[in-house]
Amino acid sequence: MKWLLVFFAFIGSLHLHAQDKDKLFATADSLSNLGEYEKSVVLFEQLCKAEPNNATYLSYAGIAYFRMENFEKAKEKFRLAVLYSEDNETHLSNLAAAYSNLDENQKAYEYAVKAMQVKPTSLTVYNAMANANNIHKYEESFRIHKQYIDFATENKFNLVLGLAHYHGREFEKAASYFETFLNQYGSEDELMKQRENAQSYMFNSYIAQLMNQIVFQKGDAESLEARLRALRNEEYSDNLSQRYEMRIILLMMLAQLLESKERVFAKELLLSRKPERISVSMQELDEKLNETNEQLKLVFNEVIKKENPTAEDYRQFLASSKMMDLFFEKLISGNIL
């Protein structure tokens, strides 16, 4: 999740025709706010040329480039703004955002943490946690939350904590945070455009819990099934809808391999979706599942080394080895899909 801190304030010295520069700055800023980014950048570049060490001009030019999605140029301007200013959490956070959008996640994390250390706020703490998640430092995300808990009161923290627990394969905690985030969803959260993703992650968390229940035979399968039924008709984009369907198919595959009654539930869950959302017929699905399970059995048989292994043998193997951990790792990273 990318989050840009935009700090609209007049900072720095405007000497040498200061009045003209004031007008030029105001015009450039207005154009940027109206979406005329290319025009605004021309004016901001004029100001930067006139005062190349002015952190304000550099920062606003970076913001305009960022809005144009020219993240390389935005990074260049934000780096200079950081260089020519005293510690400023806004310039540091904007630089972190530029690095993040260039997939330079380690750098993004480092600058997000610096911004938080300069001035802990709700936004800088959130950014530090989100960037820790992006480099798979989930325990660090929890540590930051604990250290700065007084700043972590807004609903968006439920989302970032849910993601940290999800990727740490703590699916029950993850589902709880996602559900809280969605229940408290408001106008501020709308800016993040994460409702659909939170719904999808919550569904995946319940699916993963049910898979665990099938393998380890612990937990309340009925309550999980009830929650999944309640979520089955959520509207997702085409891409997420396909992932939703694949999660159910994976659940069916596991249930069929282990001869679990949850296969009937998974079939019901899939067929109860709106017809236009289902991309595979039940006959095709059954054929594909049978073919896939035969392949899985061949792989498992090589490990189990039994002449005629049963579903219980497969369950014991999955429960006692690292296979389920590997399965979930690939599942949540999207590699299985």
Q: What is the pLDDT of residue 5?
A: 47
* DSSP-assigned states of every residue in 269-328: HHHTS-GGG--S-HHHHHHHHHHHHHHHHHHHHHHH--SS--HHHHHHHHHHSSHHHHHH
pLDDT for position 243: 78
Instruction: Output the pLDDT for position 3.
Output: 44
- Spatial contact of 231 and 268, defined as CB atoms under 8 Å apart: no
Q: Say what angle helices 323-333 and 195-216 make with each other, to 10 degrees.
A: 170
Residues of the chain with pLDDT under 50: 1-16, 337
Residue extents of the structural domains in the chain: 22-85
State residue 276's pLDDT score.
60
Among candidates 103, 167, 166, 156, which has minimal Cα distance to 125?
156
At residue 291, the pLDDT reads 86
Show the DSSP H helices in 51-104 as ranges.
55-67, 71-83, 89-101
CATH class of 22-85: mainly alpha
Query: pLDDT by residue (tens digit) across 23-63?
Result: 899 999 999 999 999 999 999 999 999 999 999 999 999 99
What is the DSSP-derived secondary structure letter of residue 64?
A: H
Sign of CA dihedral 218, 219, 220, 221: negative
The angle, 0 to 180 degrees and rounded to 10, between the axes of the packed helices 262-271 and 195-216 is: 160
CA-CA distance, 174 to 205, in Å (whole number)?
A: 7
CA–CA dist 210, 217 (Å, integer)? 9
Q: Give the total residue count for the chain.
A: 337
Q: Return the pLDDT at 4.
A: 47
- Expressed in percent and rounded to 5, the helix, strand and coil fractions of the chain are 75, 0, 25
Compute φ and ψ for 310, nearest 5 degrees: -100, 175
Residue 230 tokens read as 């309640």
pLDDT of residue 335: 62
